[in-house]
Amino acid sequence: MQLSDYDFELSKDLIAQQPLERRDASRMLTVDREGASFLDDKFSSFPLKLKKDDLLVLNNTRVFPARLLGRMESGANVEVFLVEEREPSVWMTLAKPGRRLKPGKSIEFGEKLTAELIEKTEDGRFLVRFESLGNFDEVVHEIGRTPLPPYIQRDAAEADADRERYQTVFASDRGAIAAPTAGLHFSKEVLQEISDRGVQIAEITLHVGYGTFEPVRETNLSRHRVAPERFRVDAASAEKLEQARRDGRRIIAVGTTTTRTLEYLIGRHGNFQPDSGLADLTITPGYRFQAIGALLTNFHLPQSSLLVLVATFGGHKLIMDSYRHAASSGYRFYSYGDCMFIT
């Protein structure tokens, strides 16, 4: 299929700029693959849709404040976005305005952090070496800003408003530059209700990186590749997953990042076992899902790799019809928006 097959019209008014006051108050579109149908619903009913023998899988990655605002020697302002740590204190970054930045230039981020530009890559990224007064991670946590997607607008006065809200309540393993947004709907109360119903919960880690939201540049999807992202599945979660697989129980992935991790793991080993490293799976039309039986996910950007993944799981026509219904019915889209549960 072509990238243009994943386009849809969306009013800018439907792009959620602020989170709801209650995490679990969002709307939810329930999509039934077998019946080729969808139903307007609320996320508060999500626990009721789970069966006692289901296994719900969460991505416990924690977002760190990866946006750094600095000043060059000339006095010009510059923004550096941390993408991937290559070695201690050396990061691959995105930076703007990029035209002003050349290897050898230095940037100051207040009194505790400075950086030297080492190299500009062919795709416009910058390799940067940092020097900090004190522990680098602690300094970044202190001075960095939440790495919100570009479609969410914030002024300087709102800079810290998202630091905890753009974070799942079960986030524990620091390392993501974007939130696994399907998990943002869960409150502690909803998680407790799910546990009280006897549903088993497992946690995995995939540190959401630039690959998750990098634009698809290939019109022919068979040539598209999502950049690898770091993951970890510990022994306890692998045991829960493997037992569910052997028992033929439904494994429900919360989010596309969880989906990608589980499908990568089962494709690599043929079963679930403890593992860590880089998940380099790209899911495009024709992929056969082996790990998950249902998916909770947000509404994604047109022509994005995430929408391609979701439509591959749910069926292209059904998912695109669902998206058009959501857009015409006033659902809130993207990171702080509503969700869909595909069964």
- State residue 234's pLDDT score: 98
**200-216 average pLDDT score:** 89
Residue 57 has pLDDT above 90, yes or no: yes
**36-56 average pLDDT score:** 97
Reported as a single tens digit per residue, the pLDDT across 84-141 is 999 999 999 998 887 778 888 899 999 999 999 999 988 888 999 999 999 999 999 9
Classified as helix, coil or strand, 44 is: helix
> Would strands 126-132 and 90-96 be described as parallel, antiparallel, or unpaired?
antiparallel
Residue 342 and residue 25 in contact, taking contact as beta carbons nearer than 8 Å: no
How many whole angstroms separate alpha carbon 114 and alpha carbon 132?
6
How many whole angstroms separate alpha carbon 201 and alpha carbon 188?
13
Q: Residue 277: which region, alpha, beta or left (left: phi > 0; alpha: psi -120 to 50)?
A: left
- State residue 157's pLDDT score: 62
- State residue 100's pLDDT score: 74
- State residue 159's pLDDT score: 62
More confident residue, 74 or 208: 208
Q: Nearest Cα to 250, choosing from 102, 52, 45?
A: 52
Structural domains of the chain ordered from first start: 3-63+165-342 (3.40.1780.10), 67-144 (2.40.10.240)
Average pLDDT over all residues of the chain = 94
Reported as a single tens digit per residue, the pLDDT across 294-323 is 999 999 999 999 999 999 999 999 999 999
How many whole angstroms separate alpha carbon 248 and alpha carbon 56?
14
Residue 151 has pLDDT above 80, yes or no: yes
The reply to whether omega before 97 is within 30° of 0 (cis) is yes
Residue 282 and residue 225 in contact, taking contact as beta carbons nearer than 8 Å: yes
- State residue 99's pLDDT score: 78
E strand intervals along 167-238: 173-176, 200-206, 229-233
**141-157 average pLDDT score:** 86
